[in-house]
């Protein structure tokens, strides 16, 4: 886990086991499809607890491959995670 001084707020994300959909862990423990509703861990300790809970959900066959991702202003920071959150940027072509 990152040291306190270079820690950034994080959320837990994974894919739903059954559908594969991108999901984020919400404060009530449910997994939803919108990053902006995700529970944000503001400290390394909270982050560790969040990840532990996400892993427990993995073990209970609710989600797969849970990880923590950095968040800022209700959005994932990394482009990859933003694309996971909002969907592919490449739509089907205009002629189709």
Partner 1 sequence: MYRYDEFDHAFVRERVAEFRDQVARRLSGEMTEDQFKPLRLMNGVYLQLHAYMLRIAIPYGTLSSKQLRRLAHIGRVYDKGSGHFTTRQNLQFNWIKLADVPQILEELAEVEMHAIQTSGNCIRNVTADHFAGAAADEVADPRVYAEILRQWSSLHPEFSFLPRKFKLAVTAAPHDRAAVQVHDIGLHMKVDDKGERGFAVWVGGGQGRTPMVAKKVRDFLPEADLLSYCEAILRIYNLEGRRDNKYKARIKILVHETGEAEITRAIEAEFAELQGKALTVPAPEIERIARYFALPDLETLRARSEVYETAKRDPAFALFARRNVHAHKVPGYGIVTISLKPTGAPPGDATSEQMEAIADIAERYSSDELRVSHEQNLVLPHVKLDDIPVVFAQLQKIGLGDANAGFITDIIACPGLDFCALANARSIPVAQRLSERFEDIARQAEIGDLKIKISGCINACGHHHVGHIGILGVDRKGEEFYQITLGGSGDETCSIGEIVGPGFSSDGIVDAVETVVDTYLKLRISADEPFLAAYRRVGQAPFKEALYAR
Burial status of residue 17 (CB atoms within 10 A of its CB: 0-12, 13-18, 19 or more): middle
Nearer to partner 1, 45 or 72 (CB): 72
Of 3-11, 36-44, 48-56, 76-84, the segment contacting partner 1 by CB under 8 A is 76-84
Binding to partner 1, residues 54-73 (CB under 8 A): 58-61, 64-65
What phi, psi does 79 have (nearest 5°)? -55, -45
Are 23 and 32 in contact by the 8 Å Cβ rule? The answer is: yes
The residue ranges that bind partner 1 (CB under 8 A) are 15, 17-22, 58-61, 64-65, 77-80, 83-84, 87-96
């Amino acid at each position: 886990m990152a040291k306190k001084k270079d820690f950034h707020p994080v959320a837990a994300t994974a894919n739903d086991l059954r559908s594969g959909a991108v999901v984020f862990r919400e404060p009530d423990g449910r997994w939803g499809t919108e990053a902006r509703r995700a529970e944000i861990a503001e400290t390394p300790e909270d982050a560790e607890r969040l990840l532990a809970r996400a892993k427990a959900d993995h073990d209970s066959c609710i989600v797969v491959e849970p990880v923590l991702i950095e968040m800022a202003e209700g959005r994932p920071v990394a482009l990859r995670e933003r694309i996971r959150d909002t969907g592919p940027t490449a739509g089907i072509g205009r002629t189709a």
